[in-house]
Chains A and B, each alone.
Chain A
Amino acid sequence: MRPAARQPRLTRERARAVLAGLAVLLGASLVLAAIIGGVRIDFSRALDFAHPDSPDFVILFRARLPRVLLGATVGGGLGAAGAALQALLRNPLASPDVIGISGGASIGAILVLALGVGGPAWILVPAAAFAASLATLGAIVRLSTVHGRLNPYSLLLVGVIANTIAAALIMLVTAMVDSLRAQGVLVWLTGSLAQRPYSLVATVFVFTVLPALALWAQARSLNLLALGEETAVQLGTDVARVRRTSFLASALLVGASVSVSGVIGFVGLIVPHCLRLAIGSDQRLLIPASFLGGAVFLVWADTVARTLLAPTEIPVGVLTALCGGPFFIFLLRRQEEGRGI
């Protein structure tokens, strides 16, 4: 006797309840993560707005809070992008980093960082990352399309190759610039959320929330794509428009996250996958839930990364890759053995 699906269908009420629960969880995580840290802070001084120069105030509001907020934003964007990409590419193993989009985006950002192109970095780096992630996504989709159909295994292979090429190009760039710049690139590349000003956090927030909402608006069409492109058309979906909008929004999300925090891998894989098991495959809930879930996940991953070996910091990208790599292999094995999708 096989287990029945947990809920026969998604209702508006259930979607609201799940999202409210995740929102509360995120709120609590933001507060807790800002409190927790290598240095113990005194709250009476940290919350004393009359003296914004006290070390406690600076640690809480200048170091931790922006970092926690940025973690939530980047994690949310990666979670939503992962959920949408899995539906778009009809592949539960797809995520921005696995299929090479993050790698592609990082080339764009690194070229600007390392070569020191003239102009304001706060807009040039994201723009370059976005352009590169869009170009990479387009190339990957084109290369893994065989006879008009997207081949899921070609997609993973092309992604591996794209990542390898990206890594090689990054090494080339770092070899060509002076050691100080190369060091900066390396620090950024391992994926870090530290020391970002509020203005940058706000910019990234806007460029994350807007495309995430655009993806959410496509949710029902993305559901239909699971039946195959042709059936989606026969159910009245403008598939070309849905794909265009969703690819563009996903590329924006990846570009925004990579430009500010480097490559933080596997968030877009782990979060939607676990949520799908818990709440079902309906994208109307899965996309916003992956946003909130991704935010919670990365806030805590970063908290662990900065406290585990304090005062030494583990780059958060290293931590997520160490957890995510084995998880990916587990999923791949499960899929190959035909035990569920």
Chain B
Amino acid sequence: MSREPVVRLEDVRFAYRDRSVLDGVSFEVERGERFGLLGPTGSGKSTLVRLLSGVLRPSAGRISVGGRDLGGYPPAELARRVAVVPQETALDFPFSVLEVVLMGRAPHLGGFGFEGDRDVEAAESAMTRTGVADLAGRFFHELSGGEKQRVVIARALAQEPEVLLLDEPTTSLDIRHVVEIFELLSALSRERGMTLVVVLHDLNLAALYLQRLAFLKHGRLYACGPPEEVMTYRTIRDVYETDVYVHRNDLTGRLNVLPLGSVTAGSRT
């Protein structure tokens, strides 16, 4: 892996009207890295995704992708570099799975074009990679949650981005589909050197699949580093204001985090 930052944030600030959400956040994500954004609800994670994908602009500070300031990107060009997988996708109209995946080709097409062979190829290969090729003719709104999310990932892959932003991509899925999605994402990052930036609530998944984690609290970066270094009792207690037990899992060799609830108080006294 080259040690070259593909995403760089320098002292990024953002406020919705006068409510400050991000208060001077700086970090870098290297090319091909699997990077996690963690922190309690309201800590600014999703706002970061919106900033990185050009939906919002920072009130102050600098965000660059591929060495170029985000403000200098025409929308379609940014969409060819950065793709987003949201938590859930609800379609208002009956579109087929292939149509939804082809929408990922939008930033590559002209104003009013029909998709060409190259676009259909990109969509079909993305669908094959995420295992939804046989769903091509089905209606998107009739799929299960896990199938939908794999279709949406295929749509993001059809964009052929360098960076994939995922905003809690597995929150509404059961454990089997969660593992399926994360195995797929890890494989994509290894095969294609694709950079992943994942917003997550689940600390165990973060420790299992991601290489570096950033903990946000009240719009500030609290800690940033590999799980081994930052996923400690102290960090998690400070960031989430919850007592946990952090231990190494014998089978995976990764860290596990368990909530302790009020049991600790009882056992200590």
**Which of A87, A220, A234 lies in contact with B111, CB distance below 8 A?**
A220
- Cβ contacts B138-182/A at 8 Å (1 or 0 each): 110110000000000000000100000000000000000000000
Shortest C-beta distance, A230 to chain B (Å), equals 5
Q: How many residues does chain B have at the interface if contact means C-beta atoms less than 8 Å apart?
A: 46
Q: Tally A-B pairs: CB < 8 A.
A: 119
Q: Given A8-B136, A217-B112, are A234 and B83 neighbors across the interface (CB < 8 Å)? A: yes
Which residues of A in the span 1-22 have a Cβ within 8 Å of any Cβ on B? Answer: 2, 4-5, 7-12, 15
- Cβ contacts A204-230/B at 8 Å (1 or 0 each): 000000000000010110011011101
Q: Across the interface, do B91 and A226 meet the contact criterion of CB distance under 8 Å?
A: yes
- The answer for the CA separation of A9 and B114 in the assembled complex, in Å, is 10
Q: Across the interface, do B75 and A237 meet the contact criterion of CB distance under 8 Å?
A: yes
- Cβ contacts B6-24/A at 8 Å (1 or 0 each): 0000000000000000000
Q: Across the interface, do B98 and A8 meet the contact criterion of CB distance under 8 Å?
A: yes
Q: Across the interface, do A220 and B93 meet the contact criterion of CB distance under 8 Å?
A: no
Say which one of A113-121, A183-191, A279-287 lies at the interface with B: A279-287
Assess whether B5 is interfacial by the CB under 8 Å rule. no
Assess whether B41 is interfacial by the CB under 8 Å rule. no
Contacts of A224 in B (CB 8 A): 103, 106
- The answer for the CA separation of A12 and B114 in the assembled complex, in Å, is 6
- The answer for the CA separation of A204 and B210 in the assembled complex, in Å, is 61
Q: Across the interface, do B138 and A10 meet the contact criterion of CB distance under 8 Å?
A: no
- The answer for the CA separation of A104 and B253 in the assembled complex, in Å, is 67
Q: How many residues does chain A have at the interface if contact means C-beta atoms less than 8 Å apart?
A: 38
Contacts of A341 in B (CB 8 A): 91-94, 141
Given A4-B139, A228-B86, 14 other A-B residues pairs in contact with their CB atoms under 8 A: A4-B138, A5-B94, A8-B96, A8-B99, A15-B114, A219-B112, A224-B103, A228-B90, A234-B53, A234-B79, A235-B104, A238-B75, A276-B93, A281-B95
Between-chain CB contacts (< 8 Å), 7 pairs? A5-B94, A5-B96, A9-B96, A220-B109, A226-B95, A237-B106, A340-B141
Measuring CB to CB, which residues of chain A are less than 8 angstroms from any residue of chain B? 2, 4-5, 7-12, 15, 86-87, 90-92, 217, 219-220, 223-224, 226-228, 230-231, 233-238, 276, 280-282, 284, 340-341
